[in-house]
């Protein structure tokens, strides 16, 4: 079986298990999604969704956010971890969005990645989920699964993103990256994983455990 044939079969499995893919981070617009994705770094979506209502009750737009002291933001988002860095980034990117983008989250990878605390993965999520632009956000979980399923060599997330984009139709990317995340959480976790039981690993995964 070629890698492309394997990718096609894995795609069918993901479609079967996750025909719909709700966005896991609660948000109301591109700005609140951007903040939520930034907060999700090294933090679970569940925890982010517990924290953002408190933050967005005070400021759910850049105009209100810059009125808050960084220390006040940090106190609210502390449960998400890395609060000193994240609070500073949220404050600074809010100023930039107001001053350079008329208060509107920019709709380009280039401009998003210029914002403090926003890397390529975060920009990809916003472009895909807020603006519907075809993107394949690859975090450590998708990177791990792509290697485990032998769809990529697993050298780094940049290489994994390129490999997955070659194997799957462009129109499927936005949904696919969520399907992979959901599947990984339920059937293919990093720890305590039984490859003989996993619907994908049992057929197409690497033979060695990791």
Evaluated on CA atoms 103, 104, 109, 112, the torsion sign reads positive
pLDDT of residue 205: 87
Tell me how far CA of residue 12 lies from CA of 6, 68, 158, in angstroms.
Answer: 10, 47, 25
Residues recorded for the chain: 210
Q: What is the pLDDT of residues 35-60, one digit of tens each?
A: 999 999 999 999 999 999 999 999 99
Q: Which of 65-69, 98-102, 152-156, 158-162 has the lowest mean pLDDT?
A: 152-156
pLDDT of residue 126: 98
pLDDT of residue 207: 60
Query: How many CA atoms lie within 13 Å of 113's alpha carbon, on the beta-carbon side?
Result: 9
Mean pLDDT over 1-16 rounds to 96
Q: What is the pLDDT of residues 73-123, one digit of tens each?
A: 999 999 999 999 999 999 999 999 999 999 999 999 999 999 999 999 999
Residues labelled as active-site residues: 121, 139
pTM beyond 0.95, yes or no: no
Tell me how far CA of residue 116 lies from CA of 97, 120, 130, 139, 141, in angstroms.
Answer: 11, 12, 19, 18, 23
Q: Are 127 and 119 in contact (CB under 8 A)?
A: no
Task: Report all structural domains of the chain as residue ranges with CATH numbers, in order of start.
Answer: 3-21+136-204 (1.10.1670.10), 30-129 (1.10.340.30)
Residue written as tokens 């979506």? 45
Query: How many CA atoms lie within 13 Å of 166's alpha carbon, on the beta-carbon side?
Result: 12
pLDDT at 210 over 50: no
Q: What is the pLDDT of residues 118-137, one digit of tens each?
A: 999 999 999 999 999 999 99
Q: How many Å apart are CA 199 and CA 201, to the nearest integer? A: 6
């Amino acid at each position: 079986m070629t890698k492309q044939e394997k990718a096609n079969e894995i795609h069918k499995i993901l479609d079967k298990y996750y025909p719909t893919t709700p966005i896991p981070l609660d948000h109301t617009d591109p700005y609140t999604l951007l903040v939520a994705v930034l907060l999700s770094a090294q933090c679970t979506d569940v925890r982010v969704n517990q924290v953002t209502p408190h933050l967005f009750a005070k400021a759910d737009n850049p105009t209100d956010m810059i009125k808050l002291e960084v220390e006040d933001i940090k106190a609210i988002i502390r449960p998400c971890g890395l609060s000193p860095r994240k609070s500073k980034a949220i404050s600074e990117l809010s100023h930039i969005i107001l001053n350079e983008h008329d208060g509107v989250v920019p709709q380009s990878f280039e401009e998003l990645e210029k914002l403090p605390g926003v890397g390529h993965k975060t920009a990809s999520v916003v472009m895909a989920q807020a603006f519907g632009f075809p993107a394949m956000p690859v975090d450590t979980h998708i990177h791990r699964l792509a290697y485990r399923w032998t769809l990529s060599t697993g050298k780094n997330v940049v290489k994994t993103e390129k490999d997955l984009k070659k194997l799957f139709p462009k129109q499927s990317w936005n949904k696919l990256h969520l399907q992979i995340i959901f599947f990984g959480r339920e059937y293919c976790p990093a720890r305590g994983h039984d490859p003989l039981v996993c619907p994908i690993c049992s057929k197409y995964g690497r033979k060695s455990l990791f």
